Amino acid sequence: MRISAESKSTSRAGLLAICGNPNSGKTTIFNAITGLSQKVGNYPGVTVEKVSGRFAAGKDDRRIFEMVDVPGTYSLAAFSPDEYIAASTLYDGGDGADRPDVLICVIDATNLRRGLYLLLQVLQIGIPVVVALNMVDLAERHGIEIDTEKLSRTLGNIPVVPVVGNRGTGIEQLKREAVELATHPFPPAWDRFDDTVEQVIAELTQSLNDRHRSRAEIIRVIFDQGGPAQNRFLAEAEAQGRMKNLEQKLIAGRKAIAQKFGSLSTAETGLLTARAAEITDIVTRKETSEQRTWSERMDRFLLHPILGPIILVSMMTVVFQSIFSWSKPFMDFIDSGFSALAAFCVTVIPPGPLQSLLADGVVGGVGSVLVFLPQIIILFLFIALLEDSGYMSRAAFIVDRMFRWCGLSGKSFIPMLSSFACAVPGIMATRVIEDRKLRLITIMIAPLMTCSARLPVYAIMIAAFVPYRTILGPLNLQGLVLTGLYLLGIVMAVIVSFLLQKTILKTERGTFMMEMPSYKVPTLRSVFIRVFHRARSFIVRAGTVIFAITIIVWALGYYPHSTELDKTYAQQMDAVERQFARDESARETAVTRLENELTGAHIRNSYLARIGREVEPLFTPLGWDWRISMAVLASFPAREVIIATLGTIYNMGSDVGDESTSLIDKMRKATWESGPKAGQPVFTLAVAMSIVVFFALCSQCGATLVTIRHEAGRWRYSVGVFAYMTVLAYISAFIVYQLFNSAGY
């Protein structure tokens, strides 16, 4: 039945789902069809990402269709809730969603037999299917000729459209075929199983007649023993009071199948594999050639035991350098822009809480998030290029052996490397890891990598308290300490990963299998779309929460605001104006000093300072006084905030940098105000090392914790990361302080 434009004027005219094997070009085709009209979310109750988009079809009768990009898979078999809910999108749209009107199954023309295996499972669903035969140009280069008309007839006359996704070839025809099926649907034919299997399918299909269940889902109930499909089936049977009867039918049916075929899996895979091979032989003609393909020739170098790692390290050095250095001008531009905006707020708004809220809270909070945007864009630009070109699989293959013993996958390499620039894009990059447990382990150790936000803390502490002493020729002590801090994060990450995979995220790793797709030239459109959506996701999801956290810290640092202090310093300011009325330079210096003193007095009287004094006994074993404790607490949204906070506390203003000699001089001269250490220096080498070790291991980054929550799907993972890293940082800082202090440093 045709859906009229009038009846669908304010809603979608149809729902399409696109599926396919990993590396089949499915997402490239999805991007080519939907463009920028995409939205990203998660399937209900799980962390599997759900990407959907819209496109218009028709000339005179314009209709809007929605398309869902189903995560890549080689089979509909599912043994985890994440896999099942993603796969069930093809059955019925997933829990609480609509059933798709049309399925687009993308098949790599260079791997037709493998793609047909999934297609034969998809046909069992009973929803109209269009086949997008992608990369036909690569197949031709490999001497593979596929008769698409014969393939269509063999599959029951379902549409088969030859496509070159990265060039946009065949995309319009694919859309027309999909829209035509949505308008005039016809169910596809499917291959029958053995009579024994068909009997079990028929019995279970009739058992729960109050709910429509596709044939494909019943097949999953039978063959995925112990999987989510079985559990859902039995849960519904229990709700109807028929649990025992249906469970007995299922057990008896599986037993009969296993007796005939030797195992459950053989009954399904044997038929589908043989059928896929038969169809491939019918529709394919391949020219025999002794000549190596371009990809094979490239892999002789890129996968070489010696050259491969060298090329990989060189390439990752470029990626790392670009994230760390190339982004700096853009980050400085954003930072200066927000600084100018804050200065404008100070100029146009009278002094008071509103001025401070806008300049320090709102503008400062948004700026502290957006300053990382260039790193996000550059990182995902490289990831998109590496993935679309086919090199990412090679990189994972090369480094997998290095990570196996501590529970990580080769695909953990890129996220961990990216985290040296910023943990936020590094954690977002874990999306390339399919295994959920391995992905969670990588997420939970990524913040241990030394990010660029830690460098200001390292720089000022090392410059102030670590002597510049030459060691072993060109090496110096300050550089070695900085290198040691980087290595500390790596070593701790390896230890934590090993413990996680042996305990709460225990996983039995089998043989690492990674498909090596053909090398392709990435399409700029697809790369742009992926980078655009990742950047937008970072701004929307991380920015909103970190903005709120920054406002809270601002309020704690501003209130209670003493009017008596304002009056006292106003009188001193008037005296300065009169005293230096004829000396502009001296007047500006004196006014700046008084303003910094006033700001410092206010923050020392704030709730944040009171909290610092309350927690001082907790941090005294680390060698910290209340001012260091307060500065550390204030640096929770962003680590580098500690520099500005210390500058404010010591009446230097908040615009000091990590190379500020005046702040270093103030820190060197600072003494304990009370207690048994009264009059003694606050900062020593032992204290400085305690601080940098704490910052090396503690998760003081609101954006990171918010990103962990988004990527892992639960706040408990963010809380867990914060808890274990804080405890680890505290214990390590305590040990370092006690060792250095006992040695007289």
Write out pLDDT tens, residues 143-198: 889 999 999 999 989 999 999 988 888 999 999 999 999 888 888 888 888 888 88
- Residue 539 domain-assigned (yes or no): yes
Whether residues 145 and 201 fall in one domain: no
Provide the domain limits for residue 57.
14-183
The span from the CA of 608 to the CA of 616, in Å, is 12
Residue 671 neighbours by CB under 8 Å, 6+ apart: 678, 679, 680, 681, 682
Q: Is the pLDDT of residue 662 over 70?
A: no
For 667-691, the pLDDT digits (tens) are 787 777 777 887 788 888 999 999 9
- Residue 344 domain-assigned (yes or no): no
CA nearest to 362, candidates 345, 381, 384: 345
- Residue 623 domain-assigned (yes or no): yes
Percentage with pLDDT > 90 across the chain: 14
Whether residues 218 and 108 fall in one domain: no
The 3-class secondary structure across 496-512, one letter per residue, is: HHHHHHHCCCCCCCCCC
CA nearest to 24, candidates 112, 153, 103: 112
CA 490 to chain CA mean position, Å: 20
Residue 710 near residue 534, CB atoms below 8 Å: no
**What integer pLDDT is reported at residue 152 of this predicted model?**
92
Name which residue leads in pLDDT, 42 or 562: 562
Q: Is the pLDDT of residue 136 over 50?
A: yes
> Residue 68: phi, psi to the nearest 5?
-110, 130
Whether residues 99 and 237 fall in one domain: no
- Residue 356 domain-assigned (yes or no): no
- Residue 328 domain-assigned (yes or no): no
List the structure tokens of 57.
Answer: 């079809």
Whether residues 582 and 706 fall in one domain: yes
Q: What is the mean pLDDT of residues 620-643?
A: 79
Half-sphere exposure of 425 toward its Cβ, with a 13 Å CA cutoff?
32
Residue 371 near residue 315, CB atoms below 8 Å: no
CATH number, residue 98: 3.40.50.300
> Residue 164: phi, psi to the nearest 5?
-120, 95
Whether residues 588 and 679 fall in one domain: yes
Whether residues 208 and 110 fall in one domain: no
| Last-in-domain residue among 226, 244, 265 | 265
Number of folded domains in the chain?
A: 3
Q: Which run of H or E residues covers position 288? A: none
Whether residues 261 and 177 fall in one domain: no
Whether residues 601 and 726 fall in one domain: yes
- Residue 585 domain-assigned (yes or no): yes
The span from the CA of 558 to the CA of 712, in Å, is 34
**What integer pLDDT is reported at residue 387 of this predicted model?**
77
- Residue 417 domain-assigned (yes or no): no
Percentage with pLDDT > 70 across the chain: 81
- Residue 466 domain-assigned (yes or no): no
Q: Is the pLDDT of residue 5 over 50?
A: no
Q: Is the pLDDT of residue 97 over 70?
A: no
CA nearest to 426, candidates 566, 574, 538: 538
CA 70 to chain CA mean position, Å: 18
Residue 526 near residue 28, CB atoms below 8 Å: yes
Whether residues 615 and 691 fall in one domain: yes
Burial 534-561 (b: 16+ CB within 10 A, else e): bbebbbebbbebbbebbbebbbbbbeee
For 701-741, the pLDDT digits (tens) are 877 888 888 788 788 899 999 999 999 999 999 999 999 98
Q: Is the pLDDT of residue 413 over 80?
A: no
Q: Which run of H or E residues covers position 73? A: none
Measured on CA atoms in the order 645, 639, 424, 379, is the torsion positive or negative? positive
**What integer pLDDT is reported at residue 105 of this predicted model?**
95
The span from the CA of 390 to the CA of 53, in Å, is 25
| Last-in-domain residue among 150, 183, 216 | 183
pTM of the model: 0.66
Whether residues 158 and 239 fall in one domain: no
Whether residues 129 and 260 fall in one domain: no
| Last-in-domain residue among 133, 155, 183 | 183
